[in-house]
Each structure stands twice: as C-alpha cells, then as structure tokens.
Amino acid sequence: MSGAALLSIDDVQQRADAIVAMTDDALSRDATALADELLELGEAVLLAWLASKGRAPADGEVEGFRLLALHRQGAKGDPSFNACRETCREVVYHRNLILHDPASPDVARTLRLGAMVVAHLALFIGGKLQEAGLGEFCCSSRPVRQPETLNPIAESA
Amino acid sequence: MTGKYQKVAYYPGCALEGTGHAYNRSTKAVGKKLGLDLVELKNWNCCGAMEVKNIDPKLQTYLSARNLSIADDMGFDTVMAPCNGCYHNLKKAEYDLANDEPSREVNERLSSKAGHATYESGKVETIHALDWIKHSIGEEGIRQRVKNSLKGLKVANYYGCMYTRPRHIFPEKDKGPGTESTSKPHFMDEILAAAGAENVDYPLKTACCGGAHALSDSDTSTKLVLNLLTTAEACGADVIATECPTCHTGLEMHQVRAEKVLGRKTSVKILYFTQLLGMALGLKPKAVGVQENFSDAMPLIREKGLA
C-alpha cells in the first residue's frame, strides 16, 4: 500500500476519471504501474470507510490481496456492505488481467474498465457514508445473520 | 428441452402489474411461444418487499410464505417469480422457515389467524425466470426456435443485486457446472447467446444501482446508474439486458435524470431479457411490450432487423 491510503473518496473518484480519460498510448506505456494503482485506489476507498467507523484497518490479506481483506473487515457487522464484494473482486481481476499480459492490445481498454469499476466502488462507499442503508435492499437478511455479526460498539471499545 | 418446469405456478408480484408491466407481458408471451404453462397464483399478496422486510422481517417471511402456501394448495411444487425482489424474498422466507424457529412460530400464528394452511419449508421450490427458461428449454432448445437471431447485437447482462445476494438463501447456486454462480452469474448470458446475441464482458453485472434509494437519495442512485451505463458503453454494449423490474426502472429513470441533472447523455438501450428473447423467437416488439419501456429502443431494434 502506498500513498493511496491518504486519498479521500473524492480523490479516488477524480483519479479514476483521469485514468478513464487517458490516451491509449499513455495507458499502455504505464500499464503495470496503473494496474497496481487500481488496487491502491480500491484500498483507499475501503480505508476511508474503516476510518469513518473509527476502526483500525487490518494488515492481512485474503487470497493474496489486502483489498479483499479490507472488504471482509468492512463487511463485519454490516451485511449490506457485501453489495460491493464482487466490485472489489472485479478490481482485482482487472489488475490481474493486465499483469498477466501487459503487452496485450486490450490493455488500455482493460485499464479503463478497471478504473470504472474502482469508480463504482467509490460511488457505492461514498453513497453509504451519506446513506447507511445503501445496499440494504439486497444483502441484508438481518434476522438470520444477526448472530454472525460483530457488535461495532463492542469492537471499537 | 430438459422437461423440467413445463408447467409452474406464476407469481408476478406487484411491480409487474405496475412499472414492470412490460416484463410481465414479455414473460407471458415468451412462455406461450415456448409452450410453457404459467398458472398465476390465486389471490397472491405482496412478498413483503423491502418496506415490510426492513421494519418487521418475520412479517415479510409470513407474507412470502403465504404465497408459497397458495402454490402448494394449487398443487404446484414450483413457483416462478421473475422479479428479483419477489424471488429473493420467497427464497429468504424458505431459508428462514427452515432455519429460524421464531420465524416458524410467527408464520404459524399468522397463518392460523388468517385461516389458511401454514406453509412448511421444502414443499415448494422458488425459481427465477432465468432458471425457468434455462432448465425448461435450455440453450439448444432456444437455438432451435430462433427466428430473428440477435446476431450483431452487443449485450451487457445486468443481474442486479437480489438475484444472488445474500448467498446463503440460494443453496442451489455455486454447485459447479450447470448451476448459477453468485459471484459471476451467467444464465442470462447463456440464454441470450443462444438467441444469437454477442455478450460483452460486463464487470458490473451485480453491482449496486442504488435501486432502493432511487427516490429517497436520487443523486446517489443517479451517479451509480450513470456509471453502470457508461461502463456498459465502454464495453461496447448496444443494450443492457435486465431481469428485474426495479433495476430496469432505475436504469431507465436515472438515464434520463443523469442527462437532465448531470448533463451526461448515454445512448445504451435498456431491455428486459424476455423482450430480447421474445423478439428472437419471432414475436413483434409490441407483443413483448417494447412500447411500454421508457427507454426508446425501437430505432436500434429496427436497425438490427428485429421489428
């Protein structure tokens, strides 16, 4: 994790938009670095969420990715957070596609799509910071899941 | 044809009688064209949707269980719900009744008070319209029946959230080949590919559209939907195929709002998968309710030779 940890959700949004707007040449030239940056931008969004809850971010990894560990941590106590689970996995997938073949003719397109997925993550988490119930529609099944969840108050104490 | 689900109970739910009427029309038209029988539940009630579920989840379980009880009384062991919300809630009720004693108690008490049989979990299977087509006709069956191939039509398949989440209420998914995936659903992709469509690899197929907040927090929904639309366009899609009335309405409504409020115009069209499948099977656009959609897809439909 690099300086992306210091980015706000708005910063992430702007950076994702900037990546989408880059030329094919610029994207292809720095493909590997930009692919890693996608991960960092995703992590920055989840770190902003955890910070807003007063929770210390986990250092570990899930399936080799801190982004997925941070998502798992963010979802504890809030099933509706799972509405961005696949979005996080798509960020990882796009990053891996680029690293697998940085010289692929599709690399610029893949980077742009990856940045749009990051933008969606930022929009969703940014939306949840304003309206906690975002995502409740699908993912919450609280009566069943309640015993599995952590008590955020107890956790932060 | 697999022989399964040739005749099933049909639970349209409230949305399909209102904003999702085109989905109702196209689902029935496709069923008729394919020779599949849909028998609507008699005197069905609201599934509890999100309004009841958020306030009194056990009451929602009862409301959905009553619909399952009606299907059982009518002699059906399968009920098909095309709406993701209804499908999700019936599955959730099934899960709650199998795993949660307080839910069973509330269901028993309210069923007794209402004077109908108490639904017991395991008696009726809830399926989605995608399961219905996939397992009754299958891809090969569709290929054999296609009259107007969707060839050349690039489709982003958008499944929304309630079709796959939360995972524990869908025990039949993620069971390997032939079953649906909760992380990367594919039934709609397969059905439309069999009808000739060229599916694009859409990375936001289960991402949140802010549907439940479409009215209470419109700006968030508009931004989420705009990103879904622009990403579909970046993938090269002509059309976003939907299988949920809430998603469909949200995408249409916020496509217009994004242009008015944010000045961001997108041109990707939005059609129910049943509308696309119906036209591929030779039905006229009007027969599948294209004129009822907010998003005007007729120019594209004509261009692709589907009208």
- Distance CA(B148)–CA(B304), nearest Å, equals 9
**Under 8 Å between Cβ of B84 and B246:** yes
Say how many C-beta atoms besides its own lie within 10 A of residue B191's C-beta.
26
Report residue A63: phi and psi, to 5°. Answer: 55, 35
Number of domains in chain A: 1
Write out pLDDT tens, residues A128-144: 888 777 766 655 544 43
Q: Report ipTM for this prediction.
A: 0.89
Q: What are phi and psi of A81, to 5 degrees?
A: -65, -20
Q: Are residues B109 and B171 in the same domain?
A: no
Q: Final residue of a domain: which of B95, B127, B159?
A: B127
How many Cβ atoms from other residues are within 10 Å of residue B211's Cβ? 27
| Domain end residue (candidates: B98, B127, B156) | B127
The residue segments making up the domain with residue B45 are 7-127
Cβ separation of A141 and B168 shorter than 8 Å? Answer: yes
State whether B204 and A90 contact (CB < 8 Å). Answer: yes
- Rounded to a whole number of angstroms, the distance from the CA of B179 to the nearest CA of chain A is 18
Total beta-carbon pairs less than 8 A apart between chain A and chain B: 118
In this prediction, what percent of chain B has a pLDDT beyond 70? 98
Same domain, B144 and B122: no
By DSSP bridging, strand B37-40 and strand B7-10 are parallel
Q: What is the pLDDT of residues B103-119, one digit of tens each?
A: 999 999 999 999 999 99
Residue A31 Ramachandran class (φ > 0 left, ψ -120 to 50 alpha, else beta): alpha
Compute the nearest-CA separation of B199 from chain A (Å).
Answer: 16
Asked whether the beta carbons of residue A90 and residue B169 sit closer than 8 angstroms, the reply is no
> Taking CA atoms, what residue in B is nearest to A86?
B183
Do the domain assignments include residue B123? Answer: yes
b/e code A45-62 from CB counts within 10 Å (16+ = b): bbbbbeeeeebebbeeeb
State the Cα–Cα distance between residues A10 and A126, nearest whole angstrom: 8
Q: What is the mean pLDDT of chain A?
A: 85
CB-based contacts of B187: which residues, under 8 Å, 6+ apart? B130, B131, B134, B180
Task: For residues B67 and B149, state if they share a domain.
Answer: no
- DSSP 8-state code for residue A62: B
Is B162 found in the same domain as B118? no
B121 shares its domain with B251: no
> What one-letter code names the amino acid at B252?
E
Considering Cα of B19, then B25, then B26, then B27, what sign does the dihedral take?
A: positive
Both B75 and B149 in one domain: the answer is: no
- Is B1 part of any domain? no
In this structure, are strands B125-127 and B78-80 parallel, antiparallel, or unpaired?
parallel
- Spell out which residues of chain A touch residue B65, defining contact as CB-CB under 8 Å: none
Query: Could you read off the pLDDT of B27-79 as tens digits, one per residue?
Result: 999 999 999 999 999 999 999 887 777 778 899 999 999 999 999 999 999 99
Q: B240 forms bridges with which residues in the sheet?
A: B156, B270
Nearest chain B alpha carbon to A83: B208
Distance separating alpha carbons of residues B156 and B267, to the nearest angstrom: 13
Residues B275 and B152 in one domain: yes
Q: Which domain holds residue A70?
A: 4-156
Angle, vertex CA A50, rays to CA A45 and CA A54, nearest 5: 145
The residue type of A118 is V
Distance in Å from the first CA to the final CA of chain B: 27
pLDDT, position B57? 84
Interface of A to B at Cβ within 8 Å reads 20, 79, 82-87, 89-90, 93-94, 109, 112-114, 116-117, 119-120, 123-124, 126-127, 130-131, 133-145
B97 and B205 assigned to the same domain: no
| Domain count of the fold of chain B | 2
Q: Are A13 and A123 in contact (CB under 8 A)?
A: yes
The nearest alpha carbon in chain B to A143 belongs to B57
Q: Is the domain of B264 the same as that of B204? A: yes
**What does the pLDDT profile of chain B (307 residues) look like in tens digits?**
567 999 999 999 999 999 999 999 999 999 999 999 999 999 999 998 877 777 788 999 999 999 999 999 999 999 999 999 999 999 999 999 999 999 999 999 999 999 999 999 999 999 999 999 999 999 999 999 999 999 999 999 999 988 998 889 999 999 999 999 999 999 999 999 999 999 999 999 999 888 766 666 788 899 999 999 999 999 999 999 999 999 999 999 999 999 999 999 999 999 999 999 999 999 999 999 999 999 899 999 999 999 9
If you average pLDDT over residues A26-44, what whole number do you get? 97
pLDDT at B208: 87
Helix (H, G, I), strand (E, B) or coil at A65: strand
Residue B133 lies in a domain: no
| Domain containing residue B290: CATH number | 3.40.50.11810
Q: How far apart are the C-alpha atoms of B192 and B149, rounded to whole Å?
A: 10
Measure CB to CB from residue B95 to each of A112, A130, A144 and give the nearest one.
A144
The pLDDT of residue B1 = 56
Q: At B38, is the secondary structure helix, strand, or coil? A: strand
* Domain identity same for B227 and B190: yes
Beta strand spans in chain A (E): none
Query: Pick from B106, B127, B148: which residue ends a domain?
Result: B127
Beta bridge partners of B271: B241
| pLDDT at residue B294, as a whole number | 92
> By CA distance, what is B50's nearest residue in A?
A137
Which among A112, A126, A137 is the nearest to B161, CB-wise? A137
Of the candidates B94, B99, B82, which has an alpha carbon nearest to the alpha carbon of residue B124? B94
| Domain-located, residue B205 | yes
Search chain A and give the residue with CA nearest B213.
Answer: A134
Stated length of chain A: 157
Output the pLDDT for position B293. Answer: 95
Instruction: State yes or no: pLDDT of A66 exceeds 80.
Output: yes
What pLDDT was estimated at residue B3? 75
B2: in domain: no
The reply to whether B134 falls in a domain is no
